[in-house]
Copies of this chain bind each other. A is one copy, B any other.
Amino acid sequence: MADVAREAGVSHQTVSRVLNDHPNVRPDTRARVEEAITRLGYRRNLAARALVTKRSRMLGVVSFDTTLYGPASTIYGIEQAARTAGYFVSIVSLKTLDVDSVRDAIDYLSEQGVDGVVVVAPRRSAGPALESLPSGTPAVAVEGTLRGDVSVVCIDQAEGARLATRHLLELGHRTVHHVTGPPDWLETEGRLEGWRAALEEAGRPVPEPLPGDWSPHAGYAAGRSLAAMDGVTAVFAANDQMALGVLRALSEEGVKVPDQISVVGFDDIPESAFFSPPLTTVRQDFDQVGRHCIEVLLRQLDAGAGTCERLVVPPGFVVRSSTAAAARVP
């Protein structure tokens, strides 16, 4: 910066003023400085700036398996919104979601001096880890913990599951079977709850849910079990990948979808429309979730960390060809 000042024949704080869009700079001085900046290819040192302003303009994201479509899309939304607002995003992807891993990640990020943290770790067990944040650091959880003192942005999981279940019920199915996500995930619980509620509201029997883990393989295993059971006509899988596994198993067993069994998924991944048959599913607007996270975070940065919001994004529903009216039971 001193070089630029010398080049432009001004002091280095004038350069600083130009860089920060300070009003008190004569236009021609500003022009001279800007010219010197480009000529020298000068780039300011954000570490030094962070040191004095105590703002790093850096946001931290802690996420589980960023390879999955949901987290990846959410993070994409976060990154876009953050960059637009002039913030960097530093990401930590976790292999496991136990308290210690999350805590370590948060410690790690807070050493780096992030101005705020988004936690995409939708497991009940991850909640307490937020405590290791330096107090005053804004935080927002995606599909977050139920603790009252941290902001949450989420998609209404239960509502999505209800949409799926009702759709099936309205098609004339007597009941709906459910393949769940892994235990301890908040999405798993929300979807389970919405499914159960929809069934109970309609006065239908609630079959034992089949355990899954988000993977197509788990869906496949569940599909085999389903095919072997009597009277199954409708299945709601807790995500699209598992629905794919179900579809596959059913197809191998010679069960026609949707003629004999209807299948609904959750997520609306890009592939869903091209499954065999194209999948009816619940759509989540991950992008919007990401944007909301940043909005909430920035609001907290301005307002001081006191505020705490809860933003719920409604799910959508996409009807394709994997669902049909229940076969007439002879």
Contacts and interface: CB of A to CB of B under 8 A. Distances in A.
Interface string A64-98: 01110100110110011001000011111101000
Interface of A: 41, 43-48, 50-51, 56, 58, 65-67, 69, 72-73, 75-76, 79-80, 83, 88-93, 95, 107-108, 110-113, 134, 215-217, 219-220, 241, 244-245, 247-248, 251, 270-271, 273-276, 278
A76 B66 contact: yes
A274 B216 contact: yes
Contact of A92 (B58, B79, B271): B79
Contact of A45 (B51, B79, B89, B278): B51
Given A66-B79, A88-B90, 10 more contacts: A45-B51, A46-B112, A47-B48, A47-B50, A66-B66, A83-B108, A88-B112, A219-B274, A241-B270, A244-B275
A75 B66 contact: yes
A271 B113 contact: no
B271 A107 contact: no
Nearest to A43: B111
Contacts of A73: 67
Contacts of A65: 76
B47 A274 contact: no
Contacts of A274: 216-217, 219-220, 244-245, 247-248
A113 B67 contact: no
Given A241-B270, A274-B220, A48 B51 contact: yes
A134 to B, nearest CB: 7
Contacts of A75: 66
Contacts of A248: 274-276, 278
Contact of A47 (B41, B56, B79, B91): B56
A217 B278 CA distance: 12
B47 A51 contact: yes
A216 B80 CA distance: 24
Contacts of A219: 274
A50 to B, nearest CB: 4
A263 to B, nearest CB: 13
